[in-house]
């Protein structure tokens, strides 16, 4: 579904991604872990070209993301994204946040956009918040709404950029639950996270990144219990101790 | 002080006030439209648009409004070879001047919005223009409303400068009344009162709007 080859990203002199090769298949839940500064968020943000790759190729459903002749907006419709800081639109109610893109971008009628939105709100258990403003919600609620907003475009893949890192600990669970349900329904997902429990339980494949490269990858069982690379061992040793 | 002249000359003040309101209204509207364009140009990646906008803003901010007015009033008709109505030239001068200030206010407002907002909008497949229009500008507008209101009030007062080229605005007509009545002081008091009333009402309307726009903000 997504084919990444020799992806490079430089910020000025800083070489953040030093050649990433990966293939994400339909229905897979790929969890990207690694120390901060390893380039995992940059990698994710290159997938829908929020960051302009410096070199390499990304092909999504047969279309190059890099090729300027392809309409990136059309491709982005099929790639939902969830951010660490939620990025809900604060001047709009929850329901407006969710229906905006389906109506404006996909040109759905208000009725069908509302149907989709209420269906999603029901799934995440926040129907009663439809007419609330984001400022009236807790962090966990905001992030669940942000997931619903991305899902409202019926994407083929969902990209999660540290979705629980800005949350109070007691709210992490409710967001992870929504993500687990999504994974169980067969959604293709790429998740950058520090939640090792989630990676182990839900991930179909784990990528360990360090210094701009994929150092090790494999099924969660293998990576977590028998890491091969010394950097992976070191990292997992530190994060799994607690 | 003797205000009995008003009985005979009140019509001058009414005519002057309506011209002042007319000039200010179109000055504000055109100033905002041009200001949005200047701000977007200055924020664009296109180096040509960016430098044009920067140069324009620097030039307008760096020269007196009076000089700009004279240049427009005497220069524009000659430059394009057409005769313009005096009021039109007044509006052109005022709005071209205001656009530079409004442009900078709007640019600051757009920059004040977290870049995650644009990223979220773009990640949903919105083209850049749509994201700016539906997500960024409405939020920016709320943030800059106080500064924008200030600019509008400045514009109404500064519009009095068009009296020097003989446009019959409030200031010009007050001067006429001074000449006709040989009263050097009283007509100016009336003019000042009218200017103050206009700007005070505007100021109150703007704070009402501001309060309404903050309604969706944090209740926590």
Closest CA to B29 of B21, B17, B41, B39: B21
- How large is the average pLDDT for residues B82-93? 93
CB A140 within 8 A of CB A149: no
pLDDT band at B212 (very low <50, low <70, confident <90, very high): confident
Q: Do A88 and B120 touch (CB under 8 A)?
A: yes
pLDDT band at A2 (very low <50, low <70, confident <90, very high): very high
Question: Residue B218's pLDDT is what?
Answer: 53
Neighbouring-strand partners of residue A11? A14
Question: Residue B219's pLDDT is what?
Answer: 45
pLDDT exceeds 80 at position B220: no
Q: Do A73 and B127 touch (CB under 8 A)?
A: yes
pLDDT exceeds 80 at position A241: no
Question: Residue A19's pLDDT is what?
Answer: 93
Question: Residue A238's pLDDT is what?
Answer: 86
Neighbouring-strand partners of residue A159? A81, A190
Q: Do A104 and B142 touch (CB under 8 A)?
A: no
Q: Do A48 and B114 touch (CB under 8 A)?
A: no
pLDDT band at B217 (very low <50, low <70, confident <90, very high): low
Mean pLDDT of chain A: 93
Q: Identify the three-state secondary structure at position B149.
A: helix
Predicted confidence (pLDDT) per residue in B137-177, tens digit: 999 988 999 999 999 999 999 999 999 999 999 999 999 99
Distant-in-sequence, close-in-space partners of A239: CB < 8 Å, separation ≥ 6: A194, A196
ipTM: 0.91
- How large is the average pLDDT for residues A49-54? 93
In whole angstroms, give the CA distance from residue A205 to residue B67.
70
Question: Residue B109's pLDDT is what?
Answer: 94
Predicted confidence (pLDDT) per residue in A83-134, tens digit: 999 999 999 999 999 999 999 999 999 999 999 999 999 999 999 999 999 9
pLDDT band at B82 (very low <50, low <70, confident <90, very high): confident
pTM of the model: 0.83
A 56-115: CB under 8 A from B: 73-74, 76-77, 79-81, 83, 85, 87-93, 100-101, 104-106
Task: Kindly write down the DSSP assignment for every residue of A48-84, as one continuous string.
Answer: TTSS--SEEEEEETTEESS-TTS-HHHHHHTEEEE-T
CA angle A52, A57, A60 (to 5 degrees): 90
pLDDT exceeds 70 at position B91: yes
Question: Residue A179's pLDDT is what?
Answer: 95
CA angle A198, A182, A194 (to 5 degrees): 25
The alpha-helical segments, DSSP class H, found in chain A are 40-47, 72-77, 94-104, 110-123, 139-151, 169-184, 196-202, 220-225, 230-240
pLDDT band at B127 (very low <50, low <70, confident <90, very high): very high
Give B127's contacts in chain A (Cβ within 8 Å). Answer: 73
Give A153's contacts in chain B (Cβ within 8 Å). Answer: 124-125
pLDDT band at B213 (very low <50, low <70, confident <90, very high): confident
- How large is the average pLDDT for residues B45-57? 96
- A-B CB pairs within 8 A amount to 76
Give B134's contacts in chain A (Cβ within 8 Å). Answer: 100, 104
Residue A107 neighbours by CB distance under 10 Å:
8
* Residues written for chain A: 242
Give A77's contacts in chain B (Cβ within 8 Å). Answer: 124-125
pLDDT band at B215 (very low <50, low <70, confident <90, very high): low
pLDDT exceeds 50 at position A46: yes
Predicted confidence (pLDDT) per residue in A141-178, tens digit: 999 999 999 999 999 999 999 999 999 999 999 999 99
A225 CA to chain B: closest CA distance, Å? 36
Question: Residue B216's pLDDT is what?
Answer: 60
């Amino acid at each position: 579904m997504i084919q990444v080859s020799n992806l490079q990203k430089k910020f000025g002199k800083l070489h953040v991604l030093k050649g990433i090769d990966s293939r994400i298949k339909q229905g897979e839940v790929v969890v990207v872990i690694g120390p901060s500064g390893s380039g995992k968020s940059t990698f994710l943000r290159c997938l829908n070209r929020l960051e302009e790759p410096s070199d390499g190729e990304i092909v999504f459903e047969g279309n190059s993301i890099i090729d300027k002749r392809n309409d990136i907006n059309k491709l982005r419709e099929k790639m939902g994204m969830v951010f660490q800081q939620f990025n809900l639109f604060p001047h709009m109610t929850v329901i407006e946040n969710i229906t905006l893109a389906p109506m404006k971008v996909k040109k759905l009628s208000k009725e069908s956009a509302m149907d989709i939105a209420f269906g999603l709100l029901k799934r995440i258990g926040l129907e009663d918040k439809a007419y609330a403003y984001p400022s009236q919600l807790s962090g966990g609620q905001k992030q669940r709404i942000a997931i619903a907003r991305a899902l409202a475009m019926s994407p083929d893949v969902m990209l999660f950029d540290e979705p629980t890192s800005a949350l109070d600990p007691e709210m992490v669970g409710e967001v992870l639950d929504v993500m687990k349900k999504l994974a169980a329904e067969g959604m293709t997902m790429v998740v950058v996270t520090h939640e090792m429990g989630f990676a182990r339980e839900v991930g179909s494949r784990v990528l360990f990144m360090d210094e701009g490269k994929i150092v090790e990858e494999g099924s969660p069982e293998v990576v977590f219990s028998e890491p091969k690379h010394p950097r992976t061992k070191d990292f997992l040793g530190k994060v799994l101790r607690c | 002080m003797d205000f009995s002249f008003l009985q005979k000359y009140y019509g001058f003040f009414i005519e002057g006030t309506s011209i002042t309101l007319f000039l200010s209204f179109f000055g504000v509207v055109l100033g905002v439209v041009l200001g949005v364009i200047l701000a977007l140009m200055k924020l664009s990646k296109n180096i040509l648009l960016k430098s044009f906008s920067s140069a324009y803003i620097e030039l307008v901010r760096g020269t007196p409004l009076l000089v700009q007015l004279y240049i427009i009033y005497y220069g524009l008709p000659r430059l394009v070879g057409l005769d313009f109505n005096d009021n039109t030239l007044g509006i052109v001068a005022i709005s071209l001047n205001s656009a530079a200030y409004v442009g900078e206010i709007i640019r600051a407002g757009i920059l004040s919005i977290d870049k995650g907002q644009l990223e979220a909008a773009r990640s949903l497949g919105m083209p850049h223009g749509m994201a700016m229009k539906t997500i960024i500008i409405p939020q920016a507008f709320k943030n800059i409303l106080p500064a924008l209101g200030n600019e509008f009030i400045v514009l109404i007062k500064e519009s009095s400068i068009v009296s020097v080229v003989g446009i019959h605005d409030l200031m010009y007509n007050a001067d006429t009344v001074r000449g006709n009545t040989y009263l050097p002081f009283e007509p100016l008091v009336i003019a000042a009162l009218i200017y103050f009333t206009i700007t005070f009402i505007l100021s109150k309307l703007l704070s009402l709007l501001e309060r309404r726009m903050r309604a969706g903000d944090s209740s926590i």
